[in-house]
Structure 1
Amino acid sequence: MPQQPAWRFCNKCSAMFYDGYPDKSQCAAGGGHAAAGYDFSLPYDVQGTPTDQTAWRFCGKCKEMFYDGDQDKGRCPGGGGHAAAGFQFVLPHDVPGAARTQDSWRYCGQCRALFYDGSPQKGRCSAGGGHVSAGYNFVLPRLPARNDPVPID
């Protein structure tokens, strides 16, 4: 299954953004995104299933992951609605967590971005206030962290 690495959590706005470019784009909390935590490798261009949702896209303006399955493109920190570019991502949801995954990623019903909902702080939403969780609980594959145990064969 094809996957793209370099997706990260922004510790200012709590959104998932692509950290593979030197330009950190525009964050709803001001300035550019600030990467923190795990490095995620997300599946793309594969069939959806009852527990794998299609229509997630990279926004060419703000570099956030957003849901592109509705006519409403949400609110982009770069102005207007999000602008789909690149791959069609397919995100797993409502499945048991496994090694090297992280759950509590949610769709924001206001701005349409994917954000981390695993802490009391809901980040900064480009539609105003904090993100508002809706829909599925996404369980995302991550790359090994430095402190992950080494698997024994």
Structure 2
Amino acid sequence: MTAVEPTPFDSPLRRDGHPQSRRDLLKKAALVGLGAGAVLATEPAIFAKPAAAVQSGWAHCYHCRGLFYPGNGPSACPLFTNGNGSHSTVSDDGVASWNYALWTESSGPSGFQKGWRWCSKCQGLFYLPNGNSHCPKGGAHNGTGSFAYMLEVVPPGTTVGGDEQAGWTWCRKCQGLFFGPFQADSYCPVFSTNDALGHHTGGGISYNYSLLYVP
């Protein structure tokens, strides 16, 4: 079955003044989160006030270029055979990942794309509605127990706010999220005859996603 590109739940157009208001909410949520504990032992904790369900603590893996949650125990990176190696938040030259934050569907902004989930097997983020996902640990990603996340779709020609990073891309092979500008440096758990190096790929049809980050 041919993979289908995720579609926005509603209009992807940004709201007027949106970046600033979200930045204020994120700051408040991050401050509350400094003292928060895990909601579930197997699920990343939401660091937020009820009015702003923003979960920080997500990171960019310098091995595979995917997004994952490092605060929940062992992870699995597709750079290693059968996922027998962990994601890395630090590059070979010592540069650390930014602290990224995701909105949950329960109280996030309108106009974002729903359907994203955390995988309890590899700790990565993946798009659930398409099915046919592939986890570095083998088989499909497992979103059981995950919060429901939503991502911002950036329309062409739009500039994101100063607390955001665009360029994040959906991989049509594994359904994960990776940083598109480093696609040639990425690794996907799915080997394809059309991609002998095993890179993630949006296939030229992925949206441009933007993530919040905590400075």
Q: What is the 5 A alignment of 1:18-29?
A: 18-23=69-74, 25-29=75-79
Query: How much has 1:112 moved relative to structure 2?
Result: 0.4
Describe the superposition over 1:3-59 as per-residue Cα deviations: whole angstroms up to 9, x where unpaired: 111100000011100011242x11000210001421101111236744x10010000
Q: Decide whether the 8 Å contact of 2:61 with 2:88 is kept in 1.
A: yes
**Which amino acid in the other structure matches residue 61 of structure 1?**
K
Distance in 2 between residues matched to 1:139 and 1:55, nearest whole Å: 15
Match of 1:121 among 157, 172, 184: 184
**Which amino acid in the other structure matches residue 86 of structure 2?**
G
Q: What is the 5 A alignment of 1:5-20?
A: 5-20=56-71
Q: CA RMSD in A?
A: 1.6
Distance in 2 between residues matched to 1:22 and 1:81, nearest whole Å: 20
Distance in 2 between residues matched to 1:103 and 1:143, nearest whole Å: 14
Distance in 1 between residues matched to 2:177 and 2:188, nearest whole Å: 11
Distance in 2 between residues matched to 1:48 and 1:75, nearest whole Å: 29
1:130 equivalent in alignment to 2:199: yes
Give unmatched runs, 5+ long, in structure 1. Answer: 145-153
Match of 1:67 among 127, 132, 137: 127
Pick the structure with more strand per residue: 1
Task: Report percent identity of matched pairs.
Answer: 28
SS in 1 for 2:168: strand
The 1:44/1:58 distance shift into structure 2, 3 A limit, reads same
Distance in 1 between residues matched to 2:151 and 2:190, nearest whole Å: 23
The 1:2/1:137 distance shift into structure 2, 3 A limit, reads same
The 1:120/1:54 distance shift into structure 2, 3 A limit, reads closer
SS in 2 for 1:42: strand
Distance in 1 between residues matched to 2:137 and 2:210, nearest whole Å: 27
Distance in 1 between residues matched to 2:54 and 2:108, nearest whole Å: 13
Distance in 2 between residues matched to 1:76 and 1:16, nearest whole Å: 13
Larger radius of gyration between Structure 1 and Structure 2: 2
Distance in 1 between residues matched to 2:170 and 2:61, nearest whole Å: 15
Distance in 1 between residues matched to 2:60 and 2:124, nearest whole Å: 10
Alignment length (residue pairs): 141
The 1:54/1:120 distance shift into structure 2, 3 A limit, reads closer
Tell me which residue corresponds to 2:166: 103
Moved >2 Å (runs of 4+): 45-50, 119-122
The 1:56/1:120 distance shift into structure 2, 3 A limit, reads closer
The 1:80/1:39 distance shift into structure 2, 3 A limit, reads same
Give unmatched runs, 5+ long, in structure 2. Answer: 1-51, 91-96, 192-197
Pick the structure with more helix per residue: 2
Tell me which residue corresponds to 2:87: 33
